[in-house]
Amino acid sequence: MSDSISELESVRAEALAAIAVIAAAGAGTPDPKVIEELRVRYLGRKGGRIPELLAALPAADPAVRPGLGKRLNEVRKEIEAAIAGLTALAA
């Protein structure tokens, strides 16, 4: 589980750092294309980092699966909210 959790936390940190850089970059509004690329990279159904981790969840130790699944959902929601914030800036 520690490998899965550490990978998840790494993806979380990477995504939130990328979002923060885009939010802080320049005086203009974020490019909607860049926002969509981030969404696809982290949340997209095919090849998205979070969905890949969710797909691997059944292979996790049954004793740790509930906690890992809960954390995956929390991170997914956190990234979704951060991307929604960027989208609001771009509007």
Task: Give yes or no for a contact between 22 and 33, defined as CB atoms under 8 angstroms apart.
Answer: no
Q: What is the pLDDT of residue 27?
A: 57
Q: What is the pLDDT of residue 24?
A: 85
CA separation for the pair 91, 89 (Å, rounded): 6
Q: pTM for the whole thing?
A: 0.90
Angle between helices 65-90 and 49-56 (to 10 degrees): 170
CA separation for the pair 34, 24 (Å, rounded): 14
Vertex 78: Cα angle to 28 and 24 (nearest 5): 20
- Sign, CA dihedral 83-87-20-40, equals positive
Task: Give yes or no for a contact between 11 and 78, defined as CB atoms under 8 angstroms apart.
Answer: no
How long, in residues, is the chain?
Answer: 91
* Run means of pLDDT, 10 residues per run, the chain, 91 residues: 82 95 77 92 95 92 92 97 89 73
Q: What is the pLDDT of residue 36?
A: 94
